[in-house]
């Protein structure tokens, strides 16, 4: 589920969850505690929990840094520098999970916190009938992992970032926007993990998300439209903002796709021109259309209709009270012939892809990360599972996709990158459009909604173009498509090739109670789906 | 020092912080909270946790240059350090043309949102509350997934112009989904209270059990326009999207439903049925809320929509000054007045319609009309000739709460409900609406 703007809980800045205390920007460059010191603290927790009766313990000492910049037109609205530091201790006692966390990292406080975790496990164990079973995981000893990056975003002066956003805003206004807001989000997770399996894992994870919204207003009619950035959040450093020409992909109608490098000023300039066109775009005639979906749009459809339904905790019922369960039930997987999609649909789960939001060396229960198939040649072949679920699907090891959004949150199964493989035949978007008689080319993330078992969905977008007899003939408005997951993926008719492959990303994906966020990428090339039901969302009041 | 400070302790601490200030103006916000939760699924406890937070935010200003710094350690050295840090950041900051300066002393209404009963919850209290629920679902051979979370805490503020505010509060939210073993039926219940003694997890569980059993073997009926009866849990997730949009600046700038042609706003316009009255009141005993906003402005009882007419939009202090209006902070609670119909009356008076008990995954499709999409979930029923005939398969809808409130048939008695989208608590009545637009069917249970 994607979080909407309001009420996620905790301190919010413009609908964005901020973890921790605000600090000075230079504080974000301080190194934090060294690995040896963290190992000593982790051992205090491991020993204290064991002495109180825990049969398994893991410890996460986390320093979570965030820098968020918010501007509108020529004003800086807010610069948030936040740091959150503390320890989360998870134990199994009497066969039951217990968890406690504290920001007080003195040894005596850590020992008390470990005791609380054990006490909670024991209090809840009287309600438990089935003890927790963990897939075996050999300790990996002392290891480190770091996001491969060229420019640490936290080392770039705030002034330089503001200058970029002011340039974005002024270009948008110059090109006809009535309003513009622009933001930069930077996240650095410095995570130290230790467990009674004998792992001591030190990781330094970086993520970046530049984005904006431009608005156009027709005061006479009272009509208004917006167009959001076509960037993608990435597991990269500030180099993502270099706007390299080699990473731009030309698309029909003067549109530009961005791969691993983003030109924010160029996109804002285009956005301002396009948002004005949206005010007078033709309203869509409802009916069946062949859809040509850009990766920057299709990513969210993959996320909602493949990513979430193949989460094993949902399939088993652990998320029944909130996010829901899944239509992709165990019997469908066991049959080995459930046609999730057409034969050309190959979807992989991955925690290793360079530049992706999901990439780390080890997950938050110390499992080395990997890639595996979810849908192969259209057939459902696997799920996303963590240590206490692996045995249920007959696997001997976790897939390594356990995650907590902060030291004070308990880790649980979270979506790895889930991506659609590009086609093997040479094909560009221009080629694809040529073959469509009656279609709509959709770009960007719009409104989105899907049922709790992931059958019925509705998606909008940022930009819609009408395709007639192999040509784009103009812009459309009021477009949303409704479909059923299995029907939709079985209507998948054509894929562009690897040259068109890009990732879409979700920076704040919500799941769980209390709700936690995570960041995840979804790669694909532009893809065609035949005969999809399109509705008109325009209303008169 | 304890995490939850009394009014006197908070005052002493805040005075100490202000004594370190050398800025033109200084304002300090202070808060502390303790939270606990337990989560269960497949009739077993899955995760649980506890969390303690305290936070102090110092805002210092020199003219219109403003800096903010935060800290969670309250020893003297840390407090002085955070004040110095805020002052350094203020000196470095560009001028903020929208900075309005701090307010002088204010008078606040008396609101009581703190209950010792809730503040004294222990892990055992939670386990017992959940045990009562699990007992019922296990005995009934149904599968439960639920969540209980409680919070107690306070917030306080003081500034260099002598303003002081303090508000302690407690809250407990409980939600539960009960499913039949074959996965064909699903029922839901959510409860939110300031005082935990009002929470009866067994009674709530019985409602979810009834809906789970009653919703099994649902039949498909054609999507289209139907008369619907929305239970408050279903209605609130639509209505809150109206409340979220009631900001004067967006309306005046021409980019909200509350804008209209010719560059004007809908303030003063009748936008919905005259039986619709929506207001906020921090002193409401059922839904107490803080009597002050984060910037220290007093929360008064405020009409937002009265007899269908937009009476107020919220104005920030900056926007109010720019537009020559009185500032009005956004509400800390929202209450919709009800009518005389019971849920039974509404069903009895319906020839052909749908009873909707919960809605899910609500997203705005078009901000111009607040057109929302989402689906029914966990118990949807067909009504014919005044009686519930059978459960129906879930629908996707595309509907605007504004259009819906123009198609109002009847209102019931307001109840405190928890939004399944925002987790906020509201007082909302059940309502009967004609011509509600369902656009497709879903196989989801």
Shared domain check, B420 and B356: yes
Shared domain check, B223 and B206: no
Distance, CA of A526 to CA of A422 (rounded, Å): 8
B354 falls within a domain = yes
B254 falls within a domain = no
Is pLDDT of A290 > 90?
Answer: yes
Residue of B nearest to A313 (CA): B41
Distance, CA of A503 to CA of A241 (rounded, Å): 15
Distance, CA of B80 to CA of A194 (rounded, Å): 36
- Chain A nearest C-alpha distance from B92 (Å): 11
Sheet of B142-159, strands arranged across: B65-71, B44-62, B25-41, B142-159, B164-180, B186-193
Q: Do B255 and A454 touch (CB under 8 A)?
A: no
Domain count across chain B: 2
Q: What is the reported pLDDT for B349?
A: 98
Q: What is the reported pLDDT for A256?
A: 96
Is pLDDT of A23 > 70?
Answer: no
Residues of A in contact with B380 (CB under 8 A): none
Find the radius of gyration of the CA atoms of chain A. 24
Per-residue pLDDT tens over the stretch A356-382: 999 999 999 999 999 999 999 999 999
Q: Which domain holds residue B85?
A: 7-212
Shared domain check, B400 and B350: yes
CATH, residue B86: 3.30.2290.10
Residue A33 contacts B, CB cutoff 8 Å: no
Is pLDDT of A16 > 60?
Answer: no
Residues of A in contact with B439 (CB under 8 A): 482, 535
Percent of residues, chain B, with pLDDT higher than 90: 90
Is pLDDT of A104 > 90?
Answer: no
Per-residue pLDDT tens over the stretch B31-55: 999 999 999 999 988 888 878 888 8
- Chain B nearest C-alpha distance from A95 (Å): 11
- A19 pLDDT band, cuts 50/70/90, is low
Distance, CA of A533 to CA of B384 (rounded, Å): 30
Element (H, E) at A395: none
Find out whether A90 and A118 touch, Cβ atoms under 8 Å.
no
Is pLDDT of A143 > 90?
Answer: yes
Is pLDDT of A1 > 50?
Answer: no
Lowest mean pLDDT of A22-31, B226-235, B264-273, B405-414, name the range: A22-31
Q: Do B442 and A119 touch (CB under 8 A)?
A: no
Q: Do A124 and B127 touch (CB under 8 A)?
A: yes
Distance, CA of A305 to CA of A307 (rounded, Å): 6
Shared domain check, B237 and B155: no
Is pLDDT of B73 > 90?
Answer: no
- Chain B nearest C-alpha distance from A422 (Å): 30
Residue of B nearest to A446 (CA): B365
Q: What is the reported pLDDT for A20?
A: 61
CB-facing half-sphere around the CA of A102: CA atoms within 13 A: 18
Residues of A in contact with B260 (CB under 8 A): 222
Point out the residue among A319, A458, A533 whose CB comes nearest to the CB of B373. A458
Could you tell me whether strands A96-102 and A223-228 are parallel, antiparallel, or unpaired per DSSP bridges?
Answer: unpaired
Q: Which CATH superfamily is domain A12-280 in?
A: PmbA/TldD superfamily (3.30.2290.10)
Distances (CA, A) of B123 to A117, B37, B45, B48: 11, 8, 13, 9
Distance, CA of A211 to CA of A486 (rounded, Å): 32
Is pLDDT of A8 > 50?
Answer: no
Interface probe with B: pick from A17, A446, A513, most Cβ of B within 10 Å: A513
Shared domain check, B150 and B86: yes
Is pLDDT of A406 > 60?
Answer: yes
- Would you list the domain boundaries of chain A? 12-280, 283-536
Shared domain check, B233 and B112: no
Count contacts between A and B (CB, < 8 Å).
Answer: 228
- Chain A nearest C-alpha distance from B261 (Å): 4
Mean pLDDT in residue range A194-208: 98
Residue of B nearest to A534 (CA): B439
Give chain A's mean pLDDT.
Answer: 93
Residue A536 contacts B, CB cutoff 8 Å: no
Shared domain check, B118 and B70: yes
ipTM for the predicted complex comes to: 0.93
Sequence-ordered list of residues with C-beta below 8 angstroms from that of A34, at least 6 positions apart, any chain: none
B227 falls within a domain = yes
Interface probe with A: pick from B34, B245, B444, B445, most Cβ of A within 10 Å: B444
Q: What is the reported pLDDT for A147?
A: 98
- Chain A nearest C-alpha distance from B123 (Å): 7
Shared domain check, B236 and B101: no
B236 falls within a domain = yes
Mean pLDDT in residue range A277-292: 98
Give chain B's mean pLDDT.
Answer: 96
Q: What is the reported pLDDT for A3?
A: 41
- B281 pLDDT band, cuts 50/70/90, is very high
Residues of B in contact with A327 (CB under 8 A): 443-444
Point out the residue among A21, A513, A537 whose CB comes nearest to the CB of B365. A537
Mean pLDDT in residue range A128-141: 93
- A6 pLDDT band, cuts 50/70/90, is very low
Interface probe with B: pick from A71, A102, A124, A477, most Cβ of B within 10 Å: A124
**Total Cβ atoms within 10 A of residue B116:** 10
Shared domain check, B283 and B139: no
Residue A64 contacts B, CB cutoff 8 Å: no
Shared domain check, B291 and B423: yes
Residues of B in contact with A6 (CB under 8 A): 240, 244, 421-422
Distances (CA, A) of A163 to A184, A207, A268, A391: 12, 21, 14, 53
Question: Exposure of A90 by Cβ count < 10 A (0-12 exposed, 13-18 middle, 19+ buried)?
Answer: buried
CB-facing half-sphere around the CA of B221: CA atoms within 13 A: 17
Shared domain check, B401 and B297: yes
Q: Do B42 and A316 touch (CB under 8 A)?
A: yes
- B58 pLDDT band, cuts 50/70/90, is very high
Point out the residue among A100, A321, A538 whose CB comes nearest to the CB of B50. A100
Residues of B in contact with A311 (CB under 8 A): none
B35 DSSP β-pair partners: B51, B151
Distance, CA of B139 to CA of A330 (rounded, Å): 26
- A158 pLDDT band, cuts 50/70/90, is confident
Residues of A in contact with B147 (CB under 8 A): 321-322, 513
Mean pLDDT in residue range A63-78: 90
Shared domain check, B232 and B205: no
Residues of B in contact with A124 (CB under 8 A): 38, 45, 48, 123, 127
Interface probe with A: pick from B34, B45, B252, B402, most Cβ of A within 10 Å: B45
Distance, CA of A95 to CA of A114 (rounded, Å): 16
Mean pLDDT in residue range A145-155: 97
Distances (CA, A) of B86 to A77, A327, B27, B74: 17, 52, 10, 16
Distance, CA of A272 to CA of A401 (rounded, Å): 39
Percentage helix, strand, coil for chain A under 3-state DSSP, each rounded to 5: 25, 40, 40
Is pLDDT of A522 > 90?
Answer: yes
Residue of A nearest to B272 (CA): A541
Could you tell me whether strands B371-376 and B359-366 are parallel, antiparallel, or unpaired per DSSP bridges?
Answer: antiparallel
Distance, CA of B185 to CA of A203 (rounded, Å): 44
Is pLDDT of A124 > 70?
Answer: yes
């Amino acid at each position: 589920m994607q979080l909407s703007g309001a009420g996620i809980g905790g301190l919010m800045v413009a609908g964005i969850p901020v973890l921790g205390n605000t600090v000075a920007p230079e504080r974000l460059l301080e190194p934090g505690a060294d690995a040896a010191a963290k190992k000593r603290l982790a051992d205090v927790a491991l020993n204290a929990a064991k002495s109180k009766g825990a049969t398994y313990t893991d410890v996460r000492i986390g320093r979570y840094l965030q820098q968020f910049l918010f501007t509108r037109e020529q004003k800086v609205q807010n610069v948030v520098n936040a740091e959150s530091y503390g320890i989360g201790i998870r134990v199994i006692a009497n066969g039951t999970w217990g968890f406690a966390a504290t920001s007080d990292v003195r040894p005596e406080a850590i020992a008390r916190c470990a005791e609380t975790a054990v006490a909670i496990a024991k209090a809840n164990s009287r309600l438990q009938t089935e003890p927790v079973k963990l897939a075996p995981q050999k300790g990996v000893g002392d290891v480190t992992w770091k996001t491969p990056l060229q420019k640490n975003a936290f080392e770039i002066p705030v002034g330089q970032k503001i200058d970029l956003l002011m340039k974005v805003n002024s270009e948008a206004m110059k090109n006809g926007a009535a309003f513009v807001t622009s933001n930069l989000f930077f996240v650095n997770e410095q995570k130290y993990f230790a467990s009674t399996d004998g792992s001591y894992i030190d990781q330094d994870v970086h993520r970046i998300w530049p984005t904006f919204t431009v608005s156009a207003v027709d005061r006479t009619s009272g009509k208004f439209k917006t167009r959001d950035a076509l960037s993608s959040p990435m597991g990269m450093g500030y180099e993502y903002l270099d706007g390299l020409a080699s990473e731009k992909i030309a698309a029909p109608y003067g549109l530009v796709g961005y791969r691993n490098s983003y030109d924010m000023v160029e996109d804002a300039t285009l956005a301002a021109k396009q948002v004005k066109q949206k005010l007078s775009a033709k309203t869509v005639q409802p009916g069946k259309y062949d859809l040509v979906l850009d990766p920057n749009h299709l990513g969210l459809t993959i996320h909602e209709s493949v990513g979430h339904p193949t989460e094993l905790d949902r399939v088993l019922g652990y998320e029944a009270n909130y996010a829901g369960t899944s239509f992709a039930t165990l019997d469908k997987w066991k049959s080995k012939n459930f046609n999730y999609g057409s034969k050309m649909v190959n979807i992989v789960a991955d925690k290793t892809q360079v530049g992706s939001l999901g990439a780390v060396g080890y997950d938050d229960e110390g499992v080395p990360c990997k890639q595996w198939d979810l849908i192969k040649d259209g057939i459902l072949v696997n799920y996303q599972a963590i240590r206490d679920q692996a045995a249920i699907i007959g696997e001997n090891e976790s897939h390594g996709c356990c995650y907590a959004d902060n030291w004070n949150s308990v880790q649980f199964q979270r979506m790895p990158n889930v991506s659609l493989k590009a086609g093997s035949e040479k094909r560009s978007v221009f080629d694809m459009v040529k073959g469509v008689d009656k279609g709509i080319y959709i770009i960007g993330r719009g409104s989105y909604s899907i049922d709790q078992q992931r059958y019925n969905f509705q998606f909008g977008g940022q930009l819609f173009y009408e395709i007639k007899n192999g040509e784009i003939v103009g812009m459309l408005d009021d477009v949303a498509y409704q479909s059923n997951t299995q029907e939709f993926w079985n209507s998948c008719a054509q894929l562009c090739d690897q040259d068109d492959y890009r990732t879409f990303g979700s920076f704040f994906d919500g799941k769980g109670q209390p709700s936690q966020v995570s960041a995840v990428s979804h790669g694909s090339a532009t893809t065609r789906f035949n005969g999809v039901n399109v509705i008109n969302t325009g209303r008169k009041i | 020092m304890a995490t939850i400070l009394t009014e006197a302790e908070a005052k002493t601490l805040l005075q100490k912080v202000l004594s370190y200030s050398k800025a033109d103006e200084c304002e300090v916000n202070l808060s502390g909270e303790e939270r606990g939760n337990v989560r269960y699924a497949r009739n077993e406890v899955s995760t649980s946790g506890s969390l303690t937070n305290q936070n102090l935010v110092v805002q210092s200003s020199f003219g219109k240059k403003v800096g903010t710094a935060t800290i969670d350690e309250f020893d003297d050295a840390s407090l002085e350090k955070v004040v110095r840090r805020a002052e350094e950041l203020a000196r470095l900051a560009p001028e903020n043309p929208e900075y309005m300066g701090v307010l002088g002393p204010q008078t606040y209404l008396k609101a009581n949102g703190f209950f010792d009963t809730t503040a004294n919850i222990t892990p055992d209290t939670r386990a017992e509350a959940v045990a009562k629920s699990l007992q019922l679902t296990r005995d009934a051979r149904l599968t439960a997934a639920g969540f209980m979370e409680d919070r107690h805490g306070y917030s306080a503020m003081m500034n260099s112009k002598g303003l002081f505010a303090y508000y302690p509060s407690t809250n407990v939210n409980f939600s539960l989904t009960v499913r039949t073993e074959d996965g064909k039926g699903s029922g839901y219940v959510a409860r939110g209270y300031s005082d935990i003694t009002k929470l009866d997890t067994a009674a709530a569980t019985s409602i979810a059990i009834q809906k789970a059993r009653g919703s099994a073997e649902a039949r498909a009926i054609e999507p289209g326009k139907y008369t619907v009866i929305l239970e408050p849990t279903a209605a609130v997730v639509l209505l809150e999207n109206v409340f979220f949009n009631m900001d004067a600046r967006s309306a005046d700038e021409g980019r909200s439903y509350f804008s209209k042609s010719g560059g004007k706003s809908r303030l003063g316009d009748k936008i919905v049925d005259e039986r619709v009255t929506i207001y906020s009141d921090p002193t409401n005993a059922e839904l107490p809320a803080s009597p002050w906003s984060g910037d220290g402005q007093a929360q008064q009882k405020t009409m937002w929509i009265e007899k269908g007419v937009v009476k107020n939009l919220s104005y920030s202090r900056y926007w109010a000054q720019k537009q020559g209006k009185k500032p009005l902070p956004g509400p800390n609670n929202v209450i919709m007045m009800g009518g005389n119909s019971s849920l039974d009356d509404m069903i009895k008076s319906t020839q052909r319609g749908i009873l909707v008990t919960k809605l899910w995954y609500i997203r705005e499709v078009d901000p111009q009309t607040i057109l929302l999409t989402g689906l029914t979930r966990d118990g949807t029923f067909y009504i014919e000739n005044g009686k519930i005939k059978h459960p129906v398969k879930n629908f996707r809808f595309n509907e605007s709460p504004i259009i819906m409130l123009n198609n109002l048939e009847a209102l019931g008695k307001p109840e405190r409900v928890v939004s399944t989208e925002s987790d906020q608590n509201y007082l909302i009545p059940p309502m009967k609406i004609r011509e509600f637009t369902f656009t497709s069917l879903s196989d989801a249970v």
